[in-house]
A and B are shown apart, each in its own frame.
Chain A
Amino acid sequence: MEHRGLGWPRLPRLLELLAALAVQAVRASAVAAASPDLCLWPMPLSVQTTPRVLHLSPDNFFFSHSSTSKAGPSCSLLQEAFRRYYDYIFGFYKWHHGSADLRVGVELQQLQVSVILDPECDTFPKISSDESYTLLVKGPVASLTANRVWGVLRGLETFSQLIYQDFYGTFTVNESNIVDSPRFPHRGILIDTSRHFLSVKSIFKTLDAMAFNKFNVLHWHIVDDQSFPYQSVTFPGLSKKGSYSSSHVYTPNDVRMVIEYARLRGIRIVPEFDSPGHTQSWGEGQKDLLTPCYNGKEPSGAFGPINPIWNTTYSFLSKFFKEISTVFPDEFIHLGGDEVDFDCWASNPEIQDFMRDKGFGRNFKKLESFYMQAVLDMISAINKNSIVWQEVFDDASKLMPGTVIQVWKAEDYTQEQSKVTEAGFPVILSAPWYLDWISYGQDWKRYYAVDPLSFEGSQEQKKLVIGGEACLWGEYVDATNLTPRLWPRASAVGERLWSHKDVRSLEDAYRRLTIHRCRMLRRGIAAEPVFTGYCDHEDRM
């Protein structure tokens, strides 16, 4: 409830009303699907289109700021977006030398953008950012209205999806009226840059495609056992010794570029520094951080999770997370906390003593909680909120209110959602959306069929689900296969998290997703095919 309560975007009354009508509107649009051109993805809350068409000419169309808008040409976020979307809409014009003459009919010459409240042009998107917008497409001037720039970005994407080339190659759009806002505020993609390094370019591509699907969080699982590519200013040894090679690192400048690229697309970067497990690569550059494992009375030479009993551990982490909290502007830091293997801790005599002193007995979950509690306190002391994997909740006796729990274990995940929300903690759902688990055929349907609120619980509990994430873990993924593995499979999750819960017809989704995939292809995203068929412009890939 915390997060919903804290400065949550209150939908304007009108929007709420429209939301109530949405089901109807969506059904209506599904019927209107007789016009094969309506291929919006994700489906907006309310769409009304008419058969009346407008034509656009690349030479005579532009985006503008309405005179009443709180944002103007000084808002570079919007100026950049205008340029991008002009390109997405007309980019092909260069390639297709169709006739420039418009056929008879009304011309659409302008999309006028109006931001109602303080536009937040130069801020970073937040979980509470308002992404709602209304889009009124009519000639000769269409209008896009939103409370903040974030809604404008989403609306521009929708606008670009409305435009198609007719039989003669003329850019065409149907008169329409769209009111839209997301179902969940946290719609994420997880990438893993430790198992395999992903170049900044690959991350940019992913951010582009995320914007096409109205995702708004990149969960950057930046380090893990295998490598430590994050270049820390405070502890340069971590990446110097823990990265795969000196070219497999993210410099502070790389990280800044990723954050800014994401910001311009209304996407938050939530960094994850997973501990105390999954930290083998930290040990290379930071001596005496990991637990020495013992083989009987002698150290075996192997190391386990971070050593939770030394003060030096916490002074290191405190400095480290202080840096992280200034490098990454988002209010959330993901602290991991998953899959802690207790064997090494159990083998270590110092830890055994510590357990005895603390009265933990043989219960290593208590030791784990002790560690996580200390790290969570550290994070709240630097005014950040924490996200953790579900084990931290499962194994903890008490947890600071407001800690976000990410549910990832596929088995009985709805039960886990019930438990976590019953205890009053916000939830991010990932369990059914591990996209690295590939299988033959159209598995997007499985992702699509999930409803994140299908667990047993009160209305209050359901409100605690702040969204979900599609996870693409990196054991078998690098720049060679990242894009076709993510897209359009993640798009299924994108619609599930954005669109109304009643938007679930597989048939209609298939039709729209197929076209959406071709659109991504046209925009330079090597999204793999949904099924047999073809796209008009695939030869450009």
Chain B
Amino acid sequence: MVGSTLRFSLLLAAAFAERATALWPWPQYIQTSERRYTIFPHSFQFQYHVSSAAQVGCSVLDEAFQRYRDLLFGSVSFHFPQPMGKRHTSEKNLLVILVITPGCDQFPSLESVENYTLTVNDEQCFLLSETVWGALRGLETFSQLVQRSPEGTFYINKTEIEDFPRFPHRGLLLDTSRHYLPLASILDTLDVMAYNKFNVFHWHLVDDSSFPYESFTFPDLTKKGSYNPATHIYTAQDVKEVIEYARLRGIRVLAEFDTPGHTLSWGPGVPGLLTPCYSGSHPSGTFGPVNPALNNTYEFMSTFFLEISSVFPDFYLHLGGDEVDFTCWKSNPDIQAFMKKKGFGEDFKKLESFYIQTLLDIVSAYGKGYVVWQEVFDNKVKVQPDTVIQVWREEMPVRYMKEMELVTSAGFRALLSAPWYLNHITYGPDWKKIYVVEPLAFEGSPEQKALVIGGEACMWGEYVDSTNLVPRLWPRAGAVAERLWSNKTVTDLDFAYKRLAHFRCELLRRGVQAQPLSVGYCDVEFEQT
């Protein structure tokens, strides 16, 4: 059923390519016609419907109206020809918004409903949604529907859209440890995420290279672990700003504090936290993963994650758990003794499990859910059934689709990232490779497929900082965004190319330094400063 309306909408798009091509990601259901309505920037308004649960004073929507007004008409002067005489049905000067459920001051969650219906016809110009989050998605779609004629008049075509996301978790990972990203880069990214209907900002805050998160419980972590404690840190205020900026765009902030590996930068600020590696019978002076054999470690984690749980409002925390190197643990006599005492034998996966389980218990005691990288599942750590497993390894130990099958058949929810490591660059239009991935193309029951809550595009930071982040992300991440939002039948590459190329020009118009997909040009190009 969905399929047939969709095919219908595809045909329409082909017929009126000029018009609807800017829509990205493609809505679930769309019908448009040749009938055109003029929009006058000076008189156009967003207006709450009288029976809307959200009214003036709803921060999320009030601010969104302002943003979209700027995006739509920002660059035009308002000395625009006034419409003369009485209004015609061919003019649209109001978009009426009706939100059914109140919730302007809440945070978006995995369960948030993002559905909306957008109707532009002779009678009305109307956006209906269950929640404010759905209204945000609808406003974005609306902004993409408004076109400008060569003479400079704004118009919108008669359109009927019913839209909802295919997956509830549509994320983008940024890594602020390998390279620090200025706050402005993060906020700008959140804007572009909203243009793409992404709804999760996975913030890989810290890693081996640096610890920019300023903890008020353990200020030494940044003081000693950041690249520069004066400039390369995120203060509590910065973090608040990111969370609120994201909330206003319907985006969750999923904070990751990866342990026990990837923690070298934690070491200088918390003496005794990392495992001292040994060379023979002497400490070599280097350090390995978090030391899982000490009580102090768990006391520290307990205090630290208490802070994290209160700073980040999202129900989920990302606890990492990837790529734990056992060499250092193996070399350390204290750890060897601990292994013996616990009866782990030579199986360091058991030690890893011991650490992770203790950590998970700590975090769940704070009323949080958690996401972990796939190794936690691969190494058979006993985790709670509601744990989310993020699949990131392309080939090993198994092909990622096989891994999806294994994770879901064990009853866990899964997030897919493996084919979407955007930091891996190659020559040419690699967005196609990203786009053609079908997240449910694994063997499994419908129940298993239902456990896939979405995916994430990952931009790891080894070679990325604010100099190249934006063109490397956009529009490539857009390919992931559509895959996670649109219907699974939206797979035609030519159709996608046309829209994505158009969307990329729209991003340029909005000031985003999005790189080209192929040869060509945009009316508004990126301005070198």
Q: Hey, which bits of chain A sit against chain B, CB under 8 A?
A: 195-197, 199, 201-202, 205, 226-227, 244-245, 248, 436-442, 474-481, 483-485, 521, 526-529, 531-534, 536, 538-539, 541
Contacts and interface: CB of A to CB of B under 8 A. Distances in A.
- Residue with the highest number of chain A CB atoms closer than 10 Å, among B179, B429, B464, B519: B519
A439 B426 contact: yes
B221 to A, nearest CB: 17
Interface string B410-437: 0000000000000111111100000000
Contacts of B209: 532-533
Contacts, number: 119
Given A474-B519, A539-B182, 8 more contacts: A196-B519, A201-B527, A440-B425, A529-B463, A531-B462, A531-B463, A532-B178, A539-B231
B101 interface: no
Interface stretch (B117-125, B399-407, B479-487, B510-518): B510-518
Contact of B462 (A197, A245, A437, A532): A532
B48 to A, nearest CB: 38
A199 B528 contact: yes
B232 A534 contact: yes
B427 A441 contact: no
B466 interface: yes
Q: Which 7 pairs of residues, A with B, have the shortest CB-CB distance? A: A484-B468, A481-B471, A244-B521, A534-B227, A201-B528, A526-B467, A528-B468
B463 A196 contact: no
Contacts of B462: 531-532
A174 B168 CA distance: 60
A261 to B, nearest CB: 14
A483 B514 CA distance: 13
Contacts of A474: 519
A226 B182 contact: no
A248 B471 CA distance: 21
A248 B227 CA distance: 42
Given A199-B525, A202-B528, A536 B228 contact: yes
B518 A476 contact: yes
A517 to B, nearest CB: 9
A534 B179 contact: yes
The binding surface of chain A is classed by DSSP as loop
A513 to B, nearest CB: 13
A479 B526 contact: yes
B516 A476 contact: yes
Contacts of B231: 536, 539
A378 B466 CA distance: 48
17 contacts: A196-B516, A199-B528, A226-B520, A438-B426, A438-B427, A439-B425, A440-B463, A476-B515, A476-B518, A479-B525, A480-B508, A483-B467, A484-B467, A526-B467, A528-B465, A531-B462, A541-B467
B428 A476 contact: yes
Contacts of A527: 467
Given A476-B428, A480-B508, A528 B519 contact: no
A465 B466 CA distance: 38
A440 B423 contact: yes
Contacts of B514: 480
B428 to A, nearest CB: 7
Nearest to A225: B519
A202 B508 CA distance: 16
Which of B209, B428, B465 gathers the greatest number of chain A CB atoms within 10 Å? B465
Contact of B210 (A205, A437, A534): A534
Interface in B467-522: 467-468, 470-472, 508, 513-521
B526 A480 contact: yes
A211 B465 CA distance: 24
Contacts of A441: 463
A205 B526 CA distance: 14
B34 interface: no
B180 interface: yes
A245 B523 contact: yes
B180 A196 contact: no
A479 B521 contact: no
Contacts of B424: 440
A226 B464 contact: no
Q: Which of A205, A478, A483, A485 has the most CB of B within 10 A?
A: A478
B289 interface: no
B225 interface: no
Contact of A477 (B516, B520, B527): B516
A440 B519 CA distance: 22
Contacts of A197: 521, 525
Interface centre among A205, A484, A527 (most CB of B within 10 A): A484
A527 B468 CA distance: 8
B229 to A, nearest CB: 12
Contacts of B519: 195-196, 226, 474-475
B500 to A, nearest CB: 14
A535 to B, nearest CB: 9
A373 B525 CA distance: 39
Given A527-B467, A529-B467, A438 B525 contact: no
Contacts of A202: 528
A531 B463 CA distance: 5
Contacts of A226: 519-520
B256 to A, nearest CB: 17
A480 B426 contact: no
Contacts of A526: 467-468
Contacts of A539: 182, 231
A197 B231 CA distance: 36
A301 B528 CA distance: 39
Contact of B516 (A438, A478, A533, A541): A478
Nearest to B227: A534
Nearest to B521: A244
Nearest to B466: A541
Nearest to B524: A247
Contact of B518 (A248, A475, A532, A536): A475
B528 A528 contact: no
Given A476-B428, A479-B528, A532 B179 contact: yes
Contacts of A195: 519
B461 interface: yes
Nearest to A529: B465
A227 B521 contact: yes
Contacts of B521: 196-197, 227, 244-245, 248
A476 B209 CA distance: 31
B427 A481 contact: no
Interface in B115-156: none
Contact of B427 (A439, A483, A529, A534): A439
A438 B227 contact: no
Contacts of B528: 199, 201-202, 205, 479
Contacts of A477: 515-516
Most chain A CB neighbours (cut-off 10 Å) among B427, B463, B508: B463
A541 B463 CA distance: 16
B471 A480 contact: yes
Contacts of A248: 521
A479 B232 CA distance: 28
Contacts of A483: 467
A526 B526 CA distance: 14
A534 B231 CA distance: 11
B520 A528 contact: no
Nearest to A487: B467
B117 to A, nearest CB: 35
B513 A480 contact: yes
Contacts of B527: 199, 201, 479
A534 B228 contact: yes
B223 to A, nearest CB: 16
A541 to B, nearest CB: 6
B427 A480 contact: no
Interface string B443-463: 000000000000000000111
B512 to A, nearest CB: 9
Contacts of B523: 245
Contacts of A534: 179-180, 210, 227-228, 232, 465
A244 B522 CA distance: 9
